[in-house]
Structure 1
Amino acid sequence: MKKRALWKDVFREIGRTKARFLSIFAIIMLGVSFFSGIKSAGPDMLDTAATYYKDLRLMDLRVQSTYGLSEQGIEQLRGIPGVQTVQPVYSSDVFLGDSGLIAKVYSYADNNELNGYKLTAGHLPAASGEIVLDEHLREEEKFALGDSITFGGEAGETPEKSFRTKTYNVVGFAQSPQYIETANRGTSRIGKGTADAFAVIPEGDFTLPVYTEAYLSFKDTAAQTAYTPAYDKLIEQHLPEVEEALKDYPAQRLEELKTEAVAAAKQAAAQQGTQQPQPQQQQAAYAAQSQPELPKVYVADRTINPGYAEYKDNADRLSAIASAFPVFFFLIAALVSLTTMTRMVEEQRLQIGTMKALGYGAMDIMTKFLVYGTLASLAASIAGLAVGFTFFPDIIYNAYSSLYNLPDVIKSFYPSYAVISIIVALVCTTMTAMIASRVELRSNASVLMRPKAPKSGQRIMLERFKFLWTRLSFVQKVTARNLFRYKQRMFMTVIGVAGCTALILTGFGLKDSIGSIAERQFGGIMKYSALVALHDNATPADQASYKELIEQETAVTGTLNVLQEAVTARAKGVNDQEVRIFVPSDTAELASFVNLKDRSTGKPRVLSDEGAVITEKLAKLYDVAPGDTLTLLDSNNEPFQVKVAAVTENYVLHYVYMTPAYYTEVFGKEPFYNTQLLNYSGKDTGWESAFGEKLTANGQVALVSFSSGVGEAFEGTMDSMDIVIVVLIVSAAALAFVVLYNLTNINVSERVRELSTIKVLGFYDKEVTLYIYRENILLTLLGILSGSALGVILHRFVLSTAELDATMFAPLIKWQSYIYAALLTILFSGIVMAFMHIKLKRIHMIEALKSVE
C-alpha cells in the first residue's frame, strides 16, 4: 500500500512538473545518444569491414620475390604448418588503352579461394579476352560494359611479354577487399608510379614463366576477426614463420635462373648451328640474361593493402572523440540536474517537514526524489540508446563512404556502452537528487515546515568601486546584486552556455579547417595550373609534336619538367604511407610552380644537395625533424635512406622534394623527368577542356590533371564530412536550448514572489521580463566569451584526433565562426526568453504572495 502511494505521488509530481521532467529527460537523452552513437560508430565501422573481409576471404599474408615465385617456392609455402590456403597469382601493370590510366592486372581462376571480388555489374572473366575492371572506373564513367581495351606498356615492359592477348572486352565491374579506399590503388612500376585501378583477367591469358605473388591464409585465423588484438597476435607469429620457411628460397631461385640462362644459351647456339658453349661462355650468357644478385623475398600482412590500417585509425579516432565530446553533455547535465532537483526539493519543504514530523525516516522521504530522478534518467537513457545506436553510426559511416567502398554499415548493440551510459545518467540525476534531499533533511521538522528564509542582502565587490557603483541606475544595481545573490545559478548558467558555445564553435571551426584545405593546397602551395604525365616510350615524332603544342599555346606562361615517383615510407609502429618523390629539373624555377615554406613563419624552404625537404604531416607521422633520416621503399621494396633537410607546409598527400643531384645520390640513378608542370593565366574551364583534349590526343601525353579540377574534387570529398559537423552543431544547439530553458525556468520559479511583488508595485509585463532577462543576457554573454576560449582548445583537440593520415587540417577558426556560434547561442536564449515571457505574464500575483504561515 505504501509503495502504491509512493508511485501515485511520483506520477502526480511528474504530471504537475512536466516541463521540469522533460528538461531533465532531454538533456540526459542528448548526452546518452551522443556518447553511445559516436562510441559505437567506430566498432560498427570495424565490424562492417571485418565482415566484408571474411565474406570475400581476404588473405592473411602476401609473399613476393624480386624474381617471382616458382612452383618450388609455392610448394615450400604449402608445407608451412598451419597454412590453410596458398593461392599463387600472376600480376602486371599496364596502361588501359589511350586513357592514360594505369591498372594492376591480376589473374583469376575458378578455384581461387582468397581475395574474392564483389561484382557490381556483369560477370567475372570466364573466357580468354574477358576483363573485369575496378568499380570506380564505372562510377567515374571511364569505361562501360562492352568496351574494348588494348593494353599498353612502356619501353622494355611491352604487354606481349606478359599476356597472350593485348585486347580485352569489359564483361564486369567489381570491388576488391584489397582496395577498400575509393581511389588509392598503390604503387606501379610504370608511368607516374601510382596505379589508378585494378583489373582481373583469366589466368590462362598470362604468359609469365613464374608467379608474381602468393596469398596465404591460416587455419587459426579463420575464426578471428580483423582489427582485433587476437588476430594481430596470430599474424605476428605467422609472419616470421613464413620468412623462416623461405630463407633458402633465394639461393634456390638463383640456381634456377642460372640453369634457365644456360639452357637458353644452349638453345640459341643450337639454333645458330654453332658448337655447345663452354663453361665460361655459359657464365657470360647467364650474366647477360639475369642479374647475379641474390633474389629477395618479401612477406607482408594485410596492412600493405591501401587503406586497411588507416581505416582502423579513423575508427579509433571516432572513439577518441566520443570519449571527449560527451563529457560536456554529461557534465552540463549533472550541473543542470543538481540545480533542478535542488529546486524541486526546496519546493517540497512543507511536505518533507510534515512527513518528518509524522515519523517517516529519511530514506522514506528521499525515495520520492530518487524515483523521480531515476525514472527521468532511465527513460532518457533508453531513448538515447535507441537514437544513438541507430542514428549516429549511419550518419558518420555515410560521411566516410566517399573515402571507402564498403557495404552498408552493420549496426550492433553494445551492452558495455549501454551500461556506462545508464550509470553516468543515474549519477547525473539520482545522485544529485540524493545530494539535494540530504541537504534539506538535515533540518528538523519545525524548520522545514516554515518557508525558507530569503538570502540576506550583502555588499558585493562592485560596491567597493564607488566611482562606478554611483553611476549605475537602480535597475542595474538590482541586476548586479541578484547575480551575486544566486551564485550557484549564475555559475551553472555560465558553464552551461560556455559548453554549448564551445561545441558549436568547434563544429564551425572544423568546417573552416576542412574547407580551407583545397584553397591552401591547390593554389597556395601547388601553384601550377596543370600537371601533364608523359610516356617514357614516346616516339621522337610524338615528343616533337608535344613540344610544338606547348610552344604554340600562347596562354602557357611557364613549364617545368619534374620527376614524380611513388614510394612507400616505413617505420616501426607507423602505418605505411604512400609518398611522392618530387624532383624538379631546374630548382631555381621551382618557386613559380610549388611554394615551399614553413607554415608558422612563412620562411621559404630551399632545396639543397644536402638532403630532402619533406611535408609537415609526413614529418609528424614519422616523428622526424631536420637532421633525421626517413626510410623509403621503392616499387621493388628496396629500402633507401633519405636525410631530412627541412619541413614544408602541406595539407594533402605526402611529398619528398629533392634536387637532381641528391636524388642520384640516394637512388643511384639519374632522374627521368616523367611529368611537366604548366602555368597559364586568365583561362576558364571551357578553355581548359579544349586544351586538355589537345593534350590527351598527343602520343607523348599519358594523363592531364588541372589544379582547378583537383581542388574541386577534393572539396567534394571533404564535403562528405559536413553532415558530421551539422550533427555536432545541432546537438550543441539543442543542448543550449535545454540548458537555458531549464535554468531560466528555475530562476522564475524561485523568484515568483519577488516578481509578483514588483508587479504589484506597478511594473509592466515587459519590465518584469527585462528584470529577469537582464541577468540572463549578461550571463549568456559571459558564457559566450568563456565558450569561445574553450572552443579554441576543443577545436585543436578534435583536429589532432580526427585528421586522416594523408591529410593535415588547417589549424584555424575564421572570425565569422565566432559570430555564428555567438548568434546561435543568443538565438536560443531569445527563444527561451519568449517562452518565459508568456509564463511571466501568467503569474497569479495574489496566490504567489499568500504566506504559508
Structure 2
Amino acid sequence: MKTAFLKDTIREIRGNFGRFLSILLIVSLGCGFFSGVKATQPDMVETAADYFQKYKLMDLMFTSEIGVRSADVEAVKTADHIKGAHAAYSKEVFYRYDNKNIVLKCISFNSALPDDSPNLMNKLNVIEGRLPEKDGECAVEVKLSSPSTFKLGEKLTFSETDDTKDLLDTLENDTFEIVGIVTSPMYIGYERDPTTEGDGTIVSNVFLREEEFITPYYTELFVDIDGVDELDPFSDEYKNKVNKFGEEAYSAFENSVNKRYSDLKKQAEERIASAKTTADTLNQYVDMDYSILSEELPKIQKTAAKTRKIYEAEVAQGKRAYLEKAAMLKAEKALMIVQELMSDNGDNSGVAHKKYLSQLDSAYKEISDAEAQLAEVSEPAIYRFDRFTASNDYAQFKGDSNKIDLISRVFPVFFVLVASLVCLTNMSRLIEEQRGNMGIYKALGYSRKTILGKYLVYSGLAAIIGGVFGSALGLLLLPNSIYDGYKLLYNIQKLNTPLRPEFLLGSVGVSVICICGVTAFTCLRELQAVPGSLMRPRPPKEGRRVLIENNPKIWGKFSFMSKVTTRNMLRYKRRFFMTLAGVAGCTALIITGFGLKHSIGSVVDKQFRDVFVYDGIAVMNNRYNYDENKRELENVGEISVHMQAMLTEFEAFHSGQVYTANVCVPDLPAQLENFIKLRSADDLSEIALDDSGAVITEKLAKLLDINVGDSITLKNSEGQSADISVSGICRNYAFHYIFVAPELYQNSFDKEVLHNIAFVDLKPGTDFDAFRYTFLRSDHFYGLTYKEDQSEGYLNSADSLNTVVAVLIFSAGLLAVVVLYNLAEININERKREIATVKVLGFFDRETDDYILRENIISALLGVIIGMPLGRLLHYFVTVTAEVDLLMFNRELAPSALLYGGVITLIFALAVNVALHFVLTKVDMVGSLKAVE
C-alpha cells in the first residue's frame, strides 16, 4: 500500500511538473538571493583575512620623529606577546611624469628574510615579473595606483624633493629598472600615505631592496602580535587584543627612543660646549703673535671637520628637523666661522685683527642661539598605528563590507517574503485542485496523516531541491557579482566563496516551514469534509454585483468586456489580492533599489556642495603662531578668503553612549557660513554659532539621543572633559562634527584655541594642482586637501555600491516576472472551463486574450499604485538600517525611482501577457469542458 501511495506521489509530481518546477524556481530564486547577499560580507572579510595572513600584514607600526634604530627593534622584540618585529626604510622622491613632478614613495623590503621568519611582514605579492635581486632594480604597484607607463623593463629616474639635497645621499642609485609588478597588504586600495612634498599626494609606491638605502636610520617599525591570527581582522575583539598586547611593545619602543634622544641631546650639548671652548681659545689667541695662532690652526680645523662629519651623520634621519639639530647646526656654524678665520693665517694686518674680532662676535652669537634652541627641545613625538589607522584602505574595506551586510539585513528578507507569498498561493491552488483525489484516498481508507504526507512530500521536495540549488548557486555567483564593483577599488581581486551552511540551511529551513506549513493547513482543512463531498467539484463562484453597478450612469458606459473584467476581478478576491500583494511587493523592491542608488550617490553632492562650500583645508604648522600663519595666508595671491580654525577629535558622551567626533572651533564664527553651511536638520533654516551652545550634526544627535537644550560631554585626548549645552542640530551626511564658538571653548576647557587648520577659498581660474605644489613650499603649511580630494573617496565607495544596487534591481525584476507569470497561470488554470466556454462561443484569440489578460494589466497597474507608497516606506527603512555610524544617506526618495519602478513592473506585466497568449491558444476546449466528468 505504501509502495502504491509512493508511486502515486511520484506520478503527481510528474503530472503537475509545471507547478512543481514553478515552486522549485521561486524558492530557488528567493533562497539564492537571500543566501548570496547575506554571504557577501563574510566572504569579503574572510578573503581579506586570508590575504592579510598569507602576506603577513603587520599588526602595529611605530614611528618617531628621530627615526628608528636597530636597538629600538631589539627592545620591542623582548616584549611579551610579540611574535616578530621588523624595521623598514622609506623615502619620498620626485619622478617626472606627464611633464610634471609627481611624488613616489620608495619603500624597502628585506629579501634576506625567509618566508617562515617571524620578522617577515608586509610580504609583496608578485603579479608579474619578479622581485628586485640586485642594485638598480625595483618593483612597482599594479595600475590601480601606479601611472599607466609603469611597465616591466622601463627605467625610472628619481630626484630629490629638496633641491638643496642630493638623492644619492639617501639611495645608492637614482635610476631603477622595473623588474616586477606587485601588491602590498599595506596598500590594498587607492589611498596612499599623506605627504608635504610636491602637490601633497603620493601617486604610487616603489619597492626597493633594503640595501639600496644608505641612511643610518629606519623610518618605520612593524610589529606582529602573537595570538591574534585566527581572529576576524576587522572585529573589535581583534582591535582590542592588538592594542592590549601591543602596549608593552610600545612602552619598550618609547623608552628606547627617549633614551636615544637623551643621548643625542647630550651630544649636542657637548658639541656646543666644544664650539664655545674653541671660540674662547681663539679669542685668547687674537692678541698673541700670529705665528703662535697659526700653530693652533690645524687643531681648530680638525675640531670643525669632526663636528661637521658627526652632524651630517646625525641629521640624515627621520622626517623633520628638530630643535636639537638646529642647535647642533648653530654650534657647527660657529666653528666654521673660526675655521674661516684661521684659513687666512697669512694676514697679520690690523684689518685682519678687526675681522677676527667681528666674526668672533658672530660665532658667539651662533653659540648663544644654539644654547637657547637646545633649551626649548622637548622629547620627540612617538606614534603608534594599528591597521585601521595606518591605512585608510583597511578601514574603508571594512566600511564597504559592512554596508553590504546592513543592506542584506532588510532587502533579502522582504524579497523572500514576496517569493514565499507566491509559493503559498501555488500550493493552496494545488490542494484545491486535488479535492477529488483526496476524497478517493479517504474513501479507500487512507488516513489523514498518509494523505497529508503525499502533499507534504510534493511541497517539501520542491522547497528543499529549489532551496539547496538556489542557495548553492547564490552563494557562488552573487558575492562575485557584487564584489566585481569593488575590484576597481581594491587589489584583492579573487573573492573566496565557500559554501556557507548557516545561510543555506537557514533559507531552506524557512522556505520548507512556510510552504509545508500552508500545505498542511490547507490540506487538513479540506480533509475535514466527508469523501463524497470531496469527490464532487465545487460549483463555480457566482458572479456578484460590484459597488460601481449601483451607479447606472457610470456602469452603463462600460463595454461588455469591461463589465466582465470588473466582475471577474472581484469574483476571485483571494487571487486578486494575492496578485496585488505580489506586484506591489516587486514594485516596492525595484523602487527601493533605484532609490537606494540615488540615496547613496547623492551623499557626495549633498555633503560637498550643500554643506561644505570651501575649496580646501590647509594644515597649519603650529611652530608658527596665529598671526604669523595669518600673514602667510594673506600673502598667498591665489587665496581669496581664508579662516583659521581648530579641528580635533574628541570623544562625545551622552545617555551612556560614546562616539568620536571632530570638534571644529572657527576663529570667526560669523564667517563660518562662507565655508560650512550650518542648516537645521528639521527645516534647513540657518543656525548661528555663538556662545549659547554647540551645534552638532544630525547623525551624531540621533546616535547619542540628543535634542536641542540637552548637554553633551566632550573629552579631549588629554583626558580633560567639559559639559556643553547643545544649541542646534545641523544637517550633515559624512562623519560627526561638533561646532563650538572660540569663547565657549576657552571657557569650557580653560585653554587657548590651537588653530591647526585653515579653510581657504581660491580665486576663480586657479590651477589647483599647480597651486598646491607652490603652496606647500612654505614652512607654514604641512598639507593642503581639496574638497574634491575628500569627495573622491566617497564617490568611489558609492560607485562600488552601484553593483550591489544593480544586483538588487535585477533580482527584484526577475522576481516580478516570476510572480506575475505564476499568478496569471494560476488564473488560467482555475478558469480553463470558462476559457473553453468563451472559445466555443466564438471568441477569437485576441478577444480571449482581452477577456483574461486585461485583468492582469489592471491588477498590475493597481499593484504598482499600491507599491509606490510601500516602496517609499521600504526605501526609508532600508536607508536608515543600512547606514553606518559615520554616514547618513540621503533619505529623500528620487521621483525617478518611482517612475522606474512603475514602468519596469508594467513592462514585465506586458511581457508576461505576451507569453501567456501562447498558453491560452493551447487550451483544449473539449478536454476542459469534459474535465468534470
What TM-score does the superposition give when structure 1 sets the normalisation length?
0.80
Residue equivalent to 1:403: 489
Q: Aligned with 1:221: secondary structure? A: coil
Match of 2:535 among 449, 456, 461: 449
Residue equivalent to 1:168: 174
Change (3 A) 1:696 1:147: farther
CA distance in 2, matches of 1:582, 1:133: 42
CA distance in 2, matches of 1:214, 1:104: 17
Match of 1:361 among 447, 454, 461: 447
Residue equivalent to 1:494: 580
Residue equivalent to 1:178: 186
Change (3 A) 1:83 1:694: closer
Instruction: Tell me if structure 1 keeps the 8 A contact 2:76–2:252.
Output: yes
Residue equivalent to 2:307: none
Q: Aligned with 1:148: secondary structure? A: strand
Change (3 A) 1:84 1:717: closer
Q: Aligned with 2:409: secondary structure? A: helix
Instruction: Tell me if structure 2 keeps the 8 A contact 1:562–1:677.
Output: no
Residue equivalent to 1:36: 35
Equivalent residues in 2 for 1:652-691, closer than 5 Å: 669=754, 677-680=762-765
C-alpha offsets along residues 21-50 of structure 1, whole Å, 9 cap, x if unaligned? 232122111111101111111111011111
Residue equivalent to 2:312: none
Equivalent residues in 2 for 1:118-129, closer than 5 Å: 118-120=125-127
Match of 1:560 among 615, 638, 641: 641
Q: CA deviation at 1:617?
A: 6.0
Change (3 A) 1:364 1:730: same
Instruction: Tell me if structure 2 keeps the 8 A contact 1:193–1:565.
Output: no
CA distance in 2, matches of 1:53, 1:771: 64
1:289 aligns with 2:374: yes
Equivalent residues in 2 for 1:721-740, closer than 5 Å: 721-740=801-820
C-alpha offsets along residues 713-732 of structure 1, whole Å, 9 cap, x if unaligned? 97676444333222212211
The count of aligned residue pairs is 819
**Which of the two has higher C-alpha Rg?**
2
CA distance in 2, matches of 1:191, 1:617: 36
Instruction: Tell me if structure 1 keeps the 8 A contact 2:157–2:174.
Output: yes
CA distance in 2, matches of 1:199, 1:252: 33
Residue equivalent to 2:684: 602
1:747 aligns with 2:827: yes
Identical aligned residues as a percent? 33
Residue equivalent to 1:540: none
Instruction: Tell me if structure 2 keeps the 8 A contact 1:583–1:659.
Output: yes
Instruction: Tell me if structure 2 keeps the 8 A contact 1:615–1:654.
Output: yes
1:800 aligns with 2:880: yes
CA distance in 1, matches of 2:546, 2:219: 83
Equivalent residues in 2 for 1:585-664, closer than 5 Å: 597-598=679-680, 601-604=683-686, 628=712, 649=731, 651=733
Instruction: Tell me if structure 2 keeps the 8 A contact 1:374–1:430.
Output: yes
In structure 1, runs of 5+ residues without a counterpart are 538-543, 552-557, 681-687
Partner AA of 1:425 in structure 2: S
CA distance in 1, matches of 2:435, 2:77: 81
CA distance in 2, matches of 1:484, 1:81: 77
Residue equivalent to 1:20: 19
Q: Aligned with 2:684: secondary structure? A: coil
C-alpha offsets along residues 807-831 of structure 1, whole Å, 9 cap, x if unaligned? 6533233223212211111112122
Residue equivalent to 1:379: 465
Change (3 A) 1:6 1:726: farther
Change (3 A) 1:416 1:64: same
Range that drifts further, 206-215 or 384-393: 206-215
Match of 1:822 among 899, 902, 907: 902
Instruction: Tell me if structure 1 keeps the 8 A contact 2:618–2:758.
Output: no
Match of 2:160 among 151, 157, 165: 151
CA distance in 2, matches of 1:668, 1:255: 31
Residue equivalent to 2:293: none
C-alpha offsets along residues 372-398 of structure 1, whole Å, 9 cap, x if unaligned? 223322332233123212211111111
Equivalent residues in 2 for 1:406-445, closer than 5 Å: 406-445=492-531
CA distance in 2, matches of 1:598, 1:166: 59
Instruction: Tell me if structure 2 keeps the 8 A contact 1:56–1:118.
Output: yes
Partner AA of 1:794 in structure 2: L
Residue equivalent to 1:302: 387
Residue equivalent to 2:349: none
Instruction: Tell me if structure 2 keeps the 8 A contact 1:85–1:217.
Output: yes
Equivalent residues in 2 for 1:181-220, closer than 5 Å: 181-183=189-191, 185-188=192-195, 197-201=204-208, 203=210, 212-220=219-227
Change (3 A) 1:91 1:649: farther
Residue equivalent to 1:389: 475
CA distance in 1, matches of 2:267, 2:72: 16
Change (3 A) 1:623 1:139: farther
Range that drifts further, 824-833 or 761-770: 761-770
Q: CA deviation at 1:505?
A: 0.6
Change (3 A) 1:68 1:610: farther
Q: CA deviation at 1:497?
A: 0.8
C-alpha offsets along residues 533-558 of structure 1, whole Å, 9 cap, x if unaligned? 89999xxxxxx9x999978xxxxxx8
1:850 aligns with 2:930: yes
Q: CA deviation at 1:618?
A: 7.2
Range that drifts further, 16-25 or 490-499: 16-25
C-alpha offsets along residues 560-579 of structure 1, whole Å, 9 cap, x if unaligned? 346699966767998989x7
Change (3 A) 1:706 1:246: closer
Residue equivalent to 2:359: none
1:770 aligns with 2:779: no
C-alpha offsets along residues 656-699 of structure 1, whole Å, 9 cap, x if unaligned? 8899999999875556769652335xxxxxxx9xx679768968
Q: CA deviation at 1:704?
A: 10
Partner AA of 2:48 in structure 1: A
Q: Aligned with 1:116: secondary structure? A: coil
Residue equivalent to 2:120: 113
1:84 aligns with 2:83: yes
Q: CA deviation at 1:413?
A: 1.0
What TM-score does the superposition give when structure 2 sets the normalisation length?
0.74
C-alpha offsets along residues 29-73 of structure 1, whole Å, 9 cap, x if unaligned? 111110111111111101111111111211222334565555555
Range that drifts further, 365-374 or 818-827: 365-374
Residue equivalent to 1:836: 916
Q: CA deviation at 1:747?
A: 1.5
Instruction: Tell me if structure 1 keeps the 8 A contact 2:58–2:224.
Output: yes
C-alpha offsets along residues 603-645 of structure 1, whole Å, 9 cap, x if unaligned? 3455668888776667777888887466787xxx999999887
Change (3 A) 1:720 1:78: closer
1:812 aligns with 2:892: yes
CA distance in 2, matches of 1:443, 1:642: 73
Q: Aligned with 1:359: secondary structure? A: coil
Change (3 A) 1:377 1:394: same
1:262 aligns with 2:269: yes
In structure 2, runs of 5+ residues without a counterpart are 114-118, 283-302, 304-326, 328-365, 624-630
Q: CA deviation at 1:326?
A: 2.4
CA distance in 2, matches of 1:91, 1:609: 46
Instruction: Tell me if structure 1 keeps the 8 A contact 2:173–2:212.
Output: no
C-alpha offsets along residues 764-793 of structure 1, whole Å, 9 cap, x if unaligned? 544443333443333322321222122122
CA distance in 1, matches of 2:162, 2:221: 24
Instruction: Tell me if structure 2 keeps the 8 A contact 1:582–1:655.
Output: no
CA distance in 2, matches of 1:235, 1:310: 19
Q: Aligned with 1:150: secondary structure? A: strand
Instruction: Tell me if structure 1 keeps the 8 A contact 2:691–2:744.
Output: yes
CA distance in 2, matches of 1:519, 1:465: 53
Q: Aligned with 2:223: secondary structure? A: strand
Instruction: Tell me if structure 2 keeps the 8 A contact 1:534–1:674.
Output: no
Residue equivalent to 1:554: none
Change (3 A) 1:512 1:780: same
Range that drifts further, 820-829 or 195-204: 195-204
Partner AA of 1:177 in structure 2: P
